[in-house]
Amino acid sequence: QSVLTQPPSVSAAPGQKVTISCSGSSSNIGYNSVSWYQQVPGAAPKLLIYDNHKRPSGIPDRFSASKSGTSATLAITGLQTGDEADYYCETWDRSLSVVFGGGTRLTVL
Amino acid sequence: QLQLQESGPGLVKPSETLSLTCSVSGASITNIHYYGTWIRQPPGRGLEWIGSVSYSGSTYYNPSLKSRVTISLDTSKNQFSLKVNSVTAADTAMYYCASAAAILPIHYWGQGTLVTVPS
């Protein structure tokens, strides 16, 4: 059971928009900033978003994110088949640990 | 741009110690004041933070693993290492080393190495 809760799967058609939620508590998301990672099957995770909404260099603006209270949301617009991957949210918890969501598998139909 | 590479045995017997090393290239972790982090992923499951070591050698561990884990920094070799004691089949996972300017977010990842502990 992950500390942060994500839907197991989401799907949408190419070109469409999809959102992935990440729910936590006042001990984690409500207390610290959230990062998001993309993990293509067979590869290491890649940082997509940090500090709730910032994109590292090279990440297209089709990827955006926000945080409100104890929840965070990742949005992907203009879906492409190459976006099929697992997506994880992450933050610091007051238990003095990094915590991850359980991951969401994105399927581009 | 940092590059990280994990190395170590792919098979560890139950009750023994799992030992992995992460070799860093592209910059000196101590010079750029970066952290080294270990994360694992059991087959078909999500990510789990194991712990991190700072450029000065301070360590931070997942409370659920703290009693069995040691992470250390070798500044002369620009490497950091992971040891997990008394392993069981539950420790079977892909082990990633990673690095960044803080414990998180994690900007740089190794490709991962699969460690199997037979049941």
Task: State the nearest Cα–Cα gap between B105 and chain A, in angstroms.
Answer: 6
pLDDT band at A2 (very low <50, low <70, confident <90, very high): confident
> How many Cβ atoms sit within 10 Å of the Cβ of residue A85?
21
Q: Which chain A residues touch B62 with a CB distance below 8 Å?
A: 97-98
**Signed CA dihedral, A83, B6, B25, A97: sign only:** positive
Is a pLDDT exceeding 90 seen at residue A102?
Answer: yes
Is a pLDDT exceeding 90 seen at residue B21?
Answer: yes
| Cα(B24)–Cα(B73) distance, integer angstroms | 11
How many contiguous H segments (helices) and E segments (strands) does chain A have? 0, 9
Contact B56, B32 (CB under 8 A): no
For B40-59, letters b (16+ CB in 10 Å) and e give bbeeeebbbbbbbbbbeeeb
pLDDT band at B114 (very low <50, low <70, confident <90, very high): very high
Question: Which chain B residue is nearest to residue A104, measuring alpha carbons?
Answer: B46
Rg (chain B; Cα; Å): 13
The confidence score (pLDDT) of residue B94 equals 98
The confidence score (pLDDT) of residue B1 equals 86
Nearest to B21 by CA among B3, B39, B1, B5: B5
| Cα(B103)–Cα(B52) distance, integer angstroms | 6
Question: Which chain B residue is nearest to residue A102, measuring alpha carbons?
Answer: B46
Beta carbons of A50 and B60 less than 8 Å apart: no
Of chain A, the percentage scoring pLDDT greater than 70 comes to 100
Beta carbons of A100 and B111 less than 8 Å apart: no
Vertex B26: Cα angle to B21 and B32 (nearest 5): 90
The confidence score (pLDDT) of residue A39 equals 98
A92 touches chain B (CB under 8 A): yes
List, in order, residues 6 or more apart from A94 with CB less than 8 Å away.
Answer: A27, A28, A31
B43 touches chain A (CB under 8 A): no
The confidence score (pLDDT) of residue A77 equals 97
B107 touches chain A (CB under 8 A): yes
Q: Which residue is it, tokens 């949301």? A: A73
How far is CA B109 from each of CA B14, B88, B99, rounded to the nearest angstrom? 27, 25, 7
| Cα(B82)–Cα(B59) distance, integer angstroms | 11
Give the tens place of pLDDT for each residue, B39-77: 999 999 999 999 999 999 999 999 999 999 999 999 999
Give the tens place of pLDDT for each residue, A4-62: 999 999 999 999 999 999 999 999 999 999 999 999 999 999 999 999 999 999 999 99
List, in order, residues 6 or more apart from A107 with CB less than 8 Å away.
Answer: A9, A10, A11, A84
Is a pLDDT exceeding 90 seen at residue A86?
Answer: yes
Nearest to A39 by CA among A92, A84, A81, A100: A84
Is a pLDDT exceeding 90 seen at residue A1?
Answer: no
Give the tens place of pLDDT for each residue, B71-110: 999 999 999 999 999 999 999 999 999 999 889 899 999 9
Give the tens place of pLDDT for each residue, A58-76: 999 999 999 999 999 999 9
Distance of CA A36 to the CA centre of its chain: 4
